[in-house]
Amino acid sequence: MSCLVHTHSSPRPRADALFVPLTVGLFVLLLLAWPGAEAHAQADALKAQIDQRAAEIEEEVIAWRRHFYANPELSNREFETAAYIADFLEELGLEVTTEVAHTGVVGLLDTGRPGPVIALRADMDALPVEDRADVPFASTATGEYRGREVPVKHACGHDTHIAMLMGAAQILTEMQEELHGQIKFIFQPAEEGTPPGEDGGAEMMVAEGVLQDPDVDVIFGMHISSQLPVGHIEYRERGIMAASDVFEITVHGTQTHGSTPWTGVDPIVTAAQIINGLQTVVSRKTELTKAAAVISVGIIEGGVRNNIIPEEVTMIGTIRTLDEEMQDKIHDDIRHAATTIAESMGATADVEIRRGYPVTYNDVDLTQRLLPTLNGVAGADNVHYINPITGAEDFSFFQQQVPGLYVFVGGMAEGFTRETAPPHHTPEFILNEDGMQLGVRTHGHVVVDYLFGDE
């Protein structure tokens, strides 16, 4: 009788049973093999740390801002502001340079490890504007502007720019052991323009070598906006803000009694005709489908009595352009319009045009590189691509030397809309301080993503 023996062997594994562990293992191996994985993870951890610290020091940032708001200083006169900033940076242990372009302050964070040099910039000056904002820390300061005593107010938000950069400097200094390269914190005077006959601002900082020793690789700046909701960012590659030039037209007539204008040549009437003619330079001689342009007269001076037709009238105004070829053409058209209109009235006109700030030009490659940073820090739905703005910024002088990116962050006060929020440079200008935390975080995120993006 034969014996039937049953042998038991392990079943062959199914393909789907092997798939999961093999796939996970392969993913892990690929992740570890990816050169940027470790740097990416480290950057994410640092950005989370920045976000946490920005929330923790928000009250300090607001207090700094209120100090500067209550103690504003005009362009090239930011003495107390500069001293306050310098003391703060020295307490952080940074290498501090003062009196750059008169009152500018630069703090250098050197991690001691090789890497790029990143500059972050904030402007410091206030404006000759009365403060009519309903805030308990309103400015009562006064200063001298064009030979007159004037009220002074941070009517453009530069006080928030200082406070946001101070906050970023504190956070980045705290984590310097986890960073590499060097960071320059540039606090710039006189962005609103220097007093007549003086130099200063970003152009002078560049001339004095602020982007050197160590040589800056890229620069980042931001402007708070009273007409952009809190939590939002606006950006644009290439030209985001206009070039700003100043023209001065002096019309020479023949003085006479106001009762007999036919016995002289009236420079006031001539000036009025020239103003109308200047508007046709934009509306009829400028290719506005190519780029925007603006000509505005801001000052008219002439005459001493109601019954005397004066000998001359001076007009001073601004030219805003976004294209260099159009800029040159508009300058020529202004000269031609002013001199020929004056000649037709029996007068003469002298025209002086002084080039001011260049176009604020965002480097295309840098903008694309840091766009994911903007999307990450604010949320992609809160980051908006905008049309060019005919306002001007002397941040453009930095961008002429190194790649730069300039953006807007939201600071709209509660209860307002884009249409009703008081514009910058007005007595009623007001901001929501909640918007500053995003500014601090954005400074920090930009630094981290740029440092670790090449690894």
A 10 A CB-CB count for 27 gives 10
Active site residue 130: no
Is there a contact between 435 and 416 (Cβ–Cβ < 8 Å)?
Answer: no
Catalytic one of 357, 361, 406, 450:
357
- Of the residues 73, 192, 203, 433, only one is catalytic, namely 433
Q: State the DSSP string of 403-422.
A: -EEEEEEE-PPTT--TTTSP
Q: Which whole-number Å values give the CA distances from 44 to 39, 125, 239, 313, 448, in the listed order?
A: 9, 35, 31, 61, 9
Q: Is residue 224 classed as helix, strand or coil in its secondary structure?
A: strand
What residue has token string 């999961």? 20
CA–CA separation, 393 vs 334, rounded Å? 23
Angstrom distance (rounded) from CA 392 to CA 127: 15
The neighbouring-strand residues paired with 249 are: 315, 351
Decide: 448 and 46 in contact? Cβ < 8 Å. Answer: yes
Residue 31 has a CB neighbour count (10 Å cut-off) of: 12
Beta strands, E only, 215-289: 218-225, 233-235, 238-241, 243-252, 256-257
Q: Is 357 a catalytic residue?
A: yes
Among residues 221, 151, 154, the alpha carbon closest in space to that of 185 is found at: 221
Residue carrying the six token digits 């560049």: 206
Burial class (CB in 10 A: 0-12, 13-18, 19+), 265: buried
Distance CA 251, CA 270 (A): 7
How far out from the chain centre does Cα 67 lie?
Answer: 21
Cβ–Cβ contacts within 10 Å for residue 193, how many? 19
Q: Which residues are catalytic?
A: 357, 433
